[in-house]
Structure 1
Amino acid sequence: MLLGLTAALAAVRFEGTTAGWALLTILVIVRPDLSDTRRRLGHRILGTVAGGLVAALLASVLPIRPVLLLVGAVCVALVIVFQFVTVTYAVYAFVLTLSVVLLSTPVASVAAVDAQRVAYTLAGALMIVIGSIVAMPLIRRRRPLP
């Protein structure tokens, strides 16, 4: 239900943008255990915002496309390594954000695309929070009393 509502909103209100990041945030973050969802949500927000800030800073300090592509490629390699080495989800989200933004965006547009990625990740996070608030009374009613 949460994905459907967010997808409809993204398709109608934010056509032609990177609003798909909100959907991806929901898919990656929501878990059956609400405490795990909350933990991952905090890590996703922290990693995405930090990665976005660093990507924007790199693009403004080093507006050289080959350098940014190299940094993005190194970040992709780290994302792959993180599949075999345990790191916090915040670190993973940080490196993933850097790689996606730096590899897929022209230098002049990094700040704009970066801001969209962060904004839509935060929008997805907000949808998760709202969905959790709405769902909690329903979940509590369905559980048998001890």
Structure 2
Amino acid sequence: MTSPLLKPLRGYYHHLVPWLDRRSLDAVLLLMRVVLGSVFFLSALTKVDASGITQSTFFLFENEYDLPLIPPALAAYLATLAEFSLSLALWGGLATRLAATGLLFMTLVIQTFVYPDAWITHGLWAGSLLTLILRGPGRLSLDWLVNAWLTEAAHRR
């Protein structure tokens, strides 16, 4: 005798799961890039004003953020530049794996030295960044266009 519960479970594992496994991740990867890029871009915006990096940013790097091995002023410049440039690269899907690696490194530094109690947020960022590193940006990206162009150029030789 079969349990009434087995039929829906069988349908789930034999039909729905394989169907979902065949779906493209392109939209999901784009969503990850847009959301994570926005997190870091908006963070960079808080560090600058019309005259450049704000005094409050320098204050935070000197007094609140406990970064070892790097002078606070240099850290403020590097963090701001990285947040702007890597988030833009992520949005466009250009050198996505490199950009995601840079942002993952920043996330690990923030988690370790700045906000160690925010491990849930940083874990979500890290999981998404690792997905982008391992799977790439998807077809909705400049990386995909560059790769297609390079592949076509190689076949013409």
TM-score, normalised to structure 1's length?
0.32
TM-score, normalised to structure 2's length?
0.30
Higher CA-based Rg: 2
